[in-house]
Amino acid sequence: MRLDIAVSEGKEIFAWHGQDRFCGSSSIDEVVQGGTVTSGEFVSFLANIFVRPGVRFEYMGDSVIDDIETYSFRYSVPLAASGYHIGTKRGKPLVPFHGSFTARASDYQLGSLSVIADEIPEDSLICSAETDMAYRVVKISGQDALAPSSFTLKLDDLNHQYTVSRSEFSQCRKYAAESTLHFDADNNAAANNKEAAREIELPAGIEMHIALRTPISDRTAYTGDPVEGVLLNAVKVKGAGAVIPKGSVAEGVISLLENFEEPDRHYLVKIEFHRIAFGHSTFVFQASPQMSKLQTTKLVSIYGNSWPAYVHNLAQDGVLVFRSEHFELDKHFADYWITQAARRHEGNGGSEGR
């Protein structure tokens, strides 16, 4: 999975990699709609453990790790001091957690941190959750900043499936904005610029027939990769007095690419389109693949008539099913997408996992 992560006002916000913008306070759940995800590696866990009162610490001794003298500690965060949320069927309740961390003896720089969830609710789909993080100092705008270099998430679920997810962080940089005020600006030029930047949000229910321009293969693609497609039919936009012409390029993302070994080897793939630009107009939307009879038949052949809740939820939004060892999609692949209502989520500012 490829994501861009930013820290703003002490909170982590997310966007698909290469999207070039962060929308509001997008939480991990708002961006990634399926699969195992977690957040908090940048600031939330650190703030919860080292800033919030009520956390208990215990010094465990010193050791030499990679020729560096290191101090080791244990900590415990009770429920009253916790900001760690675990996803359940009824919401995201707080849970206590504990773990350990190491610090370099010479300057107390954080080296590693482990987080283990405690008292996971019975209605959660997971039995255990452990996150291991490694930290390093990076240069951002000429200044030293502590940032995670990698993390590993280990989950054990109710079906006794043990999942290990490994991630690495790279390309750290600072986001900034500058404004210039002109007192002698030409009003006509301002009007022309406004026309050039016209953005139209498409309503739900618009069908688009799109052929891929970006080849996709399970061997090379990841969730979060950008994709492009070509509109195979003109689309009338009611209320806007506009028509999106045939041949327009649609920009999107692989929002899900999961490989399943049971009950049979198969892939569940979701490609979402969100932007078409041509002329002086940019159309923004959220389009998911229509769930066709063919895809439904494939799911029935794999799971029978009783689908797991996770698969059922994916099918409601539209998903592509490939029952094979590998799959490849090229420019000959075309399907129907339909625009959805805008997603609205409220962030809680805490560490999350599901």
Residue 345 has pLDDT above 50, yes or no: no
Spatial separation of the C-alpha atoms in residues 304 and 301, rounded to whole Å:
6
Task: Confirm if 121 and 93 have CB atoms less than 8 A apart.
Answer: yes
Instruction: Average the pLDDT over 328-348 and give the result.
Output: 75
Mean pLDDT, the chain, rounded, equals 79
Confidence of residue 105 (pLDDT cuts 50, 70, 90): very high
Task: Confirm if 303 and 313 have CB atoms less than 8 A apart.
Answer: no
pLDDT digits (tens, 9 = 90+) for 195-207: 555 788 898 999 9
pLDDT (0 to 100) of residue 185: 57
Instruction: Average the pLDDT over 133-159 and give the result.
Output: 78
Spatial separation of the C-alpha atoms in residues 347 and 28, rounded to whole Å:
9
Residue 323 has pLDDT above 70, yes or no: yes
Separation in Å, CA 120 to CA 70, 96, 102, 312: 32, 9, 26, 24
Q: Name the burial class of residue 77, with classes exposed (0-12), middle (13-18) and buried (19+) by CB atoms within 10 angstroms of its CB.
A: buried
- DSSP character string of 149-193: EEEEEEEEETT--EEEEEEE--------------SS--HHHHHHH
pLDDT digits (tens, 9 = 90+) for 162-188: 777 776 665 555 555 566 666 665 655
CB atoms within 10 A of CB 213: 13
Q: Per the structure block, which two tokens stand in for 258?
A: 């999961």
Report CA 283 to chain centroid distance, whole Å.
23
Backbone angles phi and psi of 70, in degrees to 5? -135, 140
Instruction: Average the pLDDT over 57-70 and give the result.
Output: 92
Cα dihedral 239→245→205→229 (10° resolution): -150
200-339 has which CATH code? 2.40.128
Residue 349 has pLDDT above 50, yes or no: no
Instruction: Average the pLDDT over 63-71 and give the result.
Output: 90
Residue 39 has pLDDT above 50, yes or no: no
Length of the chain as a residue count: 354
Instruction: Average the pLDDT over 238-246 and give the result.
Output: 82
Spatial separation of the C-alpha atoms in residues 335 and 9, rounded to whole Å:
41
Query: For the chain, what are the domain ranges?
Result: 3-173+346-353, 200-339
Task: Confirm if 302 and 263 have CB atoms less than 8 A apart.
Answer: yes
Where would I find the beta strands (DSSP E) of 223-347? 226-231, 235-237, 242-244, 249-260, 266-278, 281-289, 320-322, 328-329, 334-339
Spatial separation of the C-alpha atoms in residues 27 and 230, rounded to whole Å:
30
β-strands 97-104, 126-140 pairing: unpaired
pLDDT (0 to 100) of residue 348: 41
